[in-house]
């Protein structure tokens, strides 16, 4: 799963000195097209101040209810190693001077903030909340920052009296306080901001931290030194270019790797069983009293041919620490030696009966078949293979609210052609390291990259071939896109960028 959540509100606050007369601490920039981060040292004069410092700080919030919903329905597990949440702000260089060699830091906010309606970023003449002094106004009640500029920091236990949280005990880590500030170094100055905030998002999902957004600023030493950093500029959620608006990126490896189509002797593989009732995954009812097959070792799988058979325990599929409703699997290996050796050597494969049943074997739920093959052994061939890849069910248009299951057919172009006299559905080859990305059809911009680290864009495999689920809300509306694919096979990376027709998100 690779899901992009757009910002629900953003702004930046500043105490910029205007005309060497006063600070614009009551200015609001909530509707500006950019989020400006700057620090000026001694660039202006102000009565009573020597080398005054002027600075800004960015505030941004994402609706984490979407993440909570995914967690509650078992689509993600925030405790799994593959789960990651990161803030991305896109740099917008407009020919202005930009700083370099600096650090930015992000904190979870302890106070709610208003976006406001201001957009003047020249004279800072628009007055509204939020600003450098005021966090929000609710029903006429003004909530001030605990310290001007949202600078009062503290631990999670002090959240009601501070502006930003810098540490706290979260996720049941034995009472040890964790750092909740996250830094990024900018060397050239034109980089995008990409900060890992997995700890905070996970804690918010568990209701250990209230979801009030984030503050992004220059790291403390850079705000206090004797240098100016002007101006690091990011696109805001009011940017005309919808693809570069602030985003929270959620990554999670939710792929299923089923081996019904490529089970090999002497290698551990996994078989999956799904139980669907009225179009919903539902746990199997295993007895007259209505009890369901749940948890570990709740069913039995029997693999047999002739007098040879083996039985294996079946469990509900684990997604992190959560069990997936209505989905079961067994992982095992079948040896080609012993009683099966001669048959395997002469034919190269054996078709087995596949029986899914209760743990005592008295009631069966599915009888099917599976062909297990011996490993492919050839003379050495180090040539890189080319592939034919198509999406078989891609629609022309999708609603932004849709989650689409995209089916993918892939095969090596060198695959042997088998002629048949009767109609035959040629199945896709299975590639267990195949990833997708999303590219803008017109501009060529990559909106979602191949993710080989967290495997959030890894394709799943089942008895029908390969597929992936895609959240259309991750893409800006009104534009055309295409899916590209990366196949990692035999140590080679092959990118296929002519696999799919374009589609539009409405």
Three-state helix/strand/coil letters over 2-57: EEEEEEEEEEEEECCEECCCEECCCECCCCCCEEEEEEEECCCCECCECCCEEEEE
Give the per-residue pLDDT at 73.
87
Edge-to-edge strand ranges of the sheet holding 465-471: 387-391, 403-412, 465-471, 460-462
Angle at CA of residue 194, ends 8 and 100, nearest 5°: 120
Does the pLDDT value for residue 66 go beyond 80? yes
Closest to 215 (Cα-Cα) out of 264, 185, 186, 181: 181
- The whole-angstrom separation of Cα 325 and Cα 346 is 42
Give the per-residue pLDDT at 305.
96
Q: What are the pLDDT digits (tens) for 142-192?
A: 999 999 999 999 999 999 999 999 999 886 556 688 999 999 999 999 999
Tokens of 20: 């060497």
Q: What are the pLDDT digits (tens) for 421-447?
A: 666 568 899 999 999 999 999 999 999
Mean pLDDT of 7-34: 97
Give the per-residue pLDDT at 320.
81
Give the per-residue pLDDT at 384.
72
Does the pLDDT value for residue 15 go beyond 90? yes
Please give the class, per CATH, of domain 387-505.
mainly beta
Percent of the chain scored above 90 by pLDDT? 89
Percent of the chain scored above 70 by pLDDT? 96
- What does pTM read for this prediction? 0.93
Query: Residue 415 has what DSSP assignment?
Result: P
Mean pLDDT of 308-332: 95
Domain boundaries, the chain: 2-251, 269-373, 387-505
Give the per-residue pLDDT at 494.
95
Mean pLDDT of 52-61: 98
Give the per-residue pLDDT at 423.
64
Give the per-residue pLDDT at 243.
95
Give the per-residue pLDDT at 418.
65
């Amino acid at each position: 799963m690779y899901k992009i959540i757009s910002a629900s509100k953003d702004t930046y606050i500043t105490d910029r000195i205007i005309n060497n007369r006063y600070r614009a601490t009551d200015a609001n920039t909530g509707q500006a097209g950019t989020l400006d981060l700057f620090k000026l040292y001694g660039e202006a004069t102000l009565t009573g101040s020597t080398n005054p410092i002027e600075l800004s700080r960015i505030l941004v919030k994402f609706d984490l209810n979407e993440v909570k919903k995914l967690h509650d329905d078992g689509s993600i597990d925030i405790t799994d190693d593959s789960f990651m949440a990161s803030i991305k702000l896109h740099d917008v260089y407009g020919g202005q001077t930009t700083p370099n060699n600096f650090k930015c830091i992000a904190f979870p906010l302890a106070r709610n903030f208003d976006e406001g309606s201001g957009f003047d970023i020249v004279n800072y003449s628009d007055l509204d909340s939020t600003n450098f002094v005021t966090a929000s106004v609710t029903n006429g009640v003004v909530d001030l920052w605990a310290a001007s500029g949202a600078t009062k920091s503290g631990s999670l236990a002090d959240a009601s009296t501070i502006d930003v949280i810098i540490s706290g005990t979260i996720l049941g880590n034995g009472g040890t306080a964790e750092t909740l500030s996250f830094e990024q170094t900018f060397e050239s100055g034109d980089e995008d901001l990409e900060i890992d905030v997995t700890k905070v998002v996970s804690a918010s999902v568990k209701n250990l931290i209230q979801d009030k957004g984030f503050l992004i600023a220059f790291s403390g030493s850079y705000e206090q030194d004797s240098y100016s950093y002007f101006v690091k500029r990011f696109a805001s959620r009011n940017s005309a270019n919808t693809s570069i608006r602030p985003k929270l990126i959620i990554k999670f490896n939710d792929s299923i790797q089923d081996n019904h189509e490529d089970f090999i002797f002497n290698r551990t593989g996994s078989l999956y069983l799904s139980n669907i009732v009225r179009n919903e995954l539902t746990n199997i009812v295993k007895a007259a009293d209505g009890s369901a097959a749940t948890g570990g070792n709740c069913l039995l799988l029997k693999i047999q041919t002739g007098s040879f058979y083996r039985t294996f325990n079946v469990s509900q599929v684990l997604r992190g620490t959560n069990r997936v409703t209505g989905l079961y699997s067994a992982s095992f290996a079948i040896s080609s030696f012993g009683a099966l050796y001669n048959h395997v050597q002469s034919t190269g494969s054996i078709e087995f009966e596949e029986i899914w049943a209760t743990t005592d074997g008295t009631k069966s739920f599915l009888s099917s078949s599976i062909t297990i093959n011996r490993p492919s052994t050839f003379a050495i061939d180090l040539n890189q293979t080319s592939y034919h890849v198509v999406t078989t069910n891609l629609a022309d248009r999708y609603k932004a609210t849709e989650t689409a299951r995209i089916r993918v057919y892939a095969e090596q172009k060198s695959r042997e052609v088998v002629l048949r006299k009767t109609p035959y559905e040629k199945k896709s080859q299975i590639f267990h390291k195949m990833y997708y990305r999303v590219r803008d059809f017109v501009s060529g911009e990559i909106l979602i990259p191949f993710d080989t680290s967290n495997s959030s864009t890894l394709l799943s495999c089942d008895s029908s071939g390969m597929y992936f689920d895609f959240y259309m809300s991750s893409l800006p509306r009104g534009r055309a896109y295409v899916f590209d694919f990366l196949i990692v096979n035999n140590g080679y990376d092959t990118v296929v960028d002519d696999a799919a027709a374009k589609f539009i998100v409405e």
